Amino acid sequence: MTIQEILATMDYGPAPESTAEAAAWLESHNRAFGHFIAGTYTLPGEGFESRNPATGALLANVTQATRGDVEAAVAAARAAQPGWAALGGHGRARLLYAIARLLQKHARLFAVLETLDNGKPIRESRDIDLPLAQRHFYYHAGMAQLVETELPGRRPLGVCGQIIPWNFPLLMLAWKIAPALATGNTVVLKPAEYTPLTALLFGRICAEAGLPAGVVNIVTGDGTVGEMIVHAGVDKIAFTGSTAVGRRIRQATAGTGKSLTLELGGKSPFIVFDDADLDSAIEGLVDAIWFNQGQVCCAGSRLLVQEGVAGVFHAKLRARMDRLRIGDPLDKSTDIGSLVDPVQHEAVSRMVAEGAAAGDMYQPAGTLPGGCFFPPTLITGLSPADRLMQEEIFGPVLVATTFRTPAEAVELANNTRYGLAASVWSENVNLALGLAPKLAAGVVWINGTNMFDAAAGFGGTRESGFGREGGWEGLLAYTAPADIAPRANRVAPVPAPTTPSANGSLDRTAKMFIGGRQTRPDGGYSRAIWSAGGILLGHVGEGSRKDLRNAAEAAAKACGWAGASGHLRAQILYYIAENLSARGAEFAARIDAMTGGNDGQAEVERAIDSLFTWAAWADKFDGAVKDVPIRGLALAVREPLGVIGAICPPATPLLGLIAAMAPAIAMGNRVVLVPSEPFPLAATDFYQVLETSDVPAGVVNIVTGTQAVLATELAAHLDIAAVWNLSTPDLDAGIETAAAGNLKRTWCAGPGANDREALEQATEIKTIWVPYGE
How many helices (H) and strands (E) are present in the chain, helices listed first? Answer: 28, 32
CB 678 within 8 A of CB 515: no
pLDDT, tens digit, for every residue of 353-391? 999 999 999 999 988 998 999 999 999 999 999 999 999
- Per-residue model confidence (pLDDT) at position 495: 87
With cut-offs at 50, 70 and 90, classify the pLDDT of residue 751. Answer: confident
Q: Phi first, then psi: what are they for 447, rounded to 5°?
A: 50, 45
Q: Is the pLDDT of residue 693 over 70?
A: yes
Catalytic residue (choose from 114, 193, 227, 263): 263
DSSP H/E element including 270: strand 269-272
201: closest CA among 60, 52, 49?
A: 60
Contact 191, 114 (CB under 8 A): no
Side-chain-side CA neighbours of 432 within 13 Å: the count stands at 25
**Range with the poorest average pLDDT among 93-97, 175-179, 535-539:** 535-539
Of 237-246, 426-435, 522-531, give the lowest mean pLDDT range: 522-531
Q: In the predicted model, what is the mean pLDDT of residues 153-164?
A: 97
What percent of the chain shows pLDDT beyond 90?
91
Average pLDDT over every residue of 720-724: 97
pLDDT for the residue 115:
98
CA 167 to chain centre: 18
> What is the pLDDT, as a whole number, of residue 163?
98
Q: What is the mean pLDDT of residues 577-584?
A: 97
Q: What is the mean pLDDT of the chain?
A: 95
CA proximity to 384, closest of 407, 411, 357: 411
Give yes or no: 263 in active site: yes
Rounded to 5°, the CA angle 576-580-583 comes to: 150
Close Cβ partners of 410 (under 8 Å, ≥ 6 residues apart):
435, 438, 439
Helices marked H in 87-233? 88-105, 107-118, 122-124, 130-150, 169-182, 197-209, 223-231
E-assigned strand segments in 8-103? 32-33, 36-37, 40-41, 47-51, 58-63
Mean pLDDT of 430-453: 96
Rounded Cα distance between 594 and 682, Å, is: 9
Q: What is the pLDDT of residue 278?
A: 97
Q: Is the dihedral of CA 511, 514, 518, 520 positive or negative?
A: negative
Following DSSP, what letter does each residue of 544-575 receive, concatenated?
-HHHHHHHHHHHHHTTHHHHS-HHHHHHHHHH
pLDDT of 1 over the 70 cut: no
Q: What is the pLDDT of residue 3?
A: 74
Residue 503's pLDDT is 64
Active site residue 648: no
pLDDT at 2: 77
Say if residue 207's pLDDT is above 70: yes
What pairs with residue 670 in β-bridges? 643
What does the angle CA 206 – CA 208 – CA 213 come to, to the nearest 5 degrees? 50
Return the DSSP state at 126: I
> Which one from 297, 298, 372, 748 is the annotated catalytic residue?
297
The whole-angstrom separation of Cα 504 and Cα 74 is 65
pLDDT band at 506 (very low <50, low <70, confident <90, very high): low
- In this predicted structure, the answer to whether residue 5 has a pLDDT above a threshold of 90 is no
Mean per-residue pLDDT, 213-221: 98
Q: State residue 364's pLDDT score.
A: 96
CA dihedral sign, ordered 678, 681, 682, 687:
positive
Q: How much is the average pLDDT of 211-240? A: 97
* CA-based nearest residue to 477, from 259, 639, 264, 634: 259
Cα four-point dihedral sign 749, 753, 758, 760:
negative
- The pTM of this model reads 0.94
Task: Please state the φ and ψ torsions of residue 124, each to the nearest 5 degrees.
Answer: -75, -45
Judged against a pLDDT cut of 70, whether residue 204 lies above it is answered with yes
pLDDT reported for residue 502: 65
* Exposure string for 80-113, b = 16+ CB within 10 A, e = fewer: bbeebbebebeebbebbbbbbbbbeebbbbbbbb
Q: Given a cut of 70, is residue 110 above it in pLDDT?
A: yes
Residue 504 pLDDT more than 70? no
Asked if the model's pLDDT at residue 92 lies above 70, the reply is yes
**pLDDT at 10 (0 to 100):** 65
- The per-residue pLDDT for 497 is 83
